[in-house]
Amino acid sequence: MVWNLSFQLLPGEEVLEDSTGIASTGIKPAYSVFLTNRRALFRFNGLGSSLTQSFPFTQITEIRACKRLFINYLLIKTENKDYLLNISEPDYWAGRIGEARNRYGFEGVKASPQRKKRDLLDMLTVLRKSGLLTDAELDEKIKLLDRLEI
């Protein structure tokens, strides 16, 4: 899971579906959902925020709807942590994210070192495009990434 300051697509990524056009009933969900061909993104809708949580398919070990204290949530499990997200239609999105994950070849696949490095490089590129890294800092991080054994 990665927190971003804004929603920006990675190179080669395309949005397949999003929840912004779906009317919700009951309690307003805290997150909007964006499903791409590489990851599931959840934009926090509170306090005028543009924070986005990103879950690459390679990091999701389990996804399903669950209920806690009469509220429906989407449960996303990764190797390190479980996340409960308050979204509209958690059953629907659990199925859609699972289908996309399977369709794009991530079911049961551990991220290879090359895939992990590519994902990190993509994130660095987005940070540079957002102006959060300078060219020099980007070059330094890429050199460090090349030396790492993931």
Whether residue 70 lies inside any domain: the answer is yes
Q: Which domain holds residue 128?
A: 113-147
DSSP 125: H
Residues 135 and 97 in one domain: no
Using CA atoms, how far apart are residues 24 and 75, in angstroms rounded to an integer?
19
For residue 105, is it left (φ>0), alpha (ψ between -120 and 50) or beta? Answer: left
All residues at 6 or more sequence positions from 84 whose CB lies less than 8 Å from its CB, including other chains: 66, 68, 73, 74, 75
Q: Examine residue 108 and state whether it is found in any structural domain, yes or no.
A: no
117 and 72 within one domain: no
- Cβ atoms 16, 39 nearer than 8 A: no
| Sign of the CA dihedral with 125 first, then 17, 54, and 43 last | positive
Q: Are residues 70 and 139 in the same domain?
A: no
pLDDT in tens, the chain (150 residues): 444 545 677 778 888 877 766 665 666 667 788 888 888 888 876 666 667 788 888 888 899 998 888 888 889 998 888 988 888 788 888 998 888 888 876 654 455 566 677 777 877 887 788 788 888 988 888 888 777 765
Are residues 135 and 89 part of one domain? no
Query: 71 and 16, same structural domain?
Result: yes
CATH code at position 91: 2.30.29.30
Q: What is the pTM of this model?
A: 0.63
Q: Are residues 55 and 35 in the same domain?
A: yes
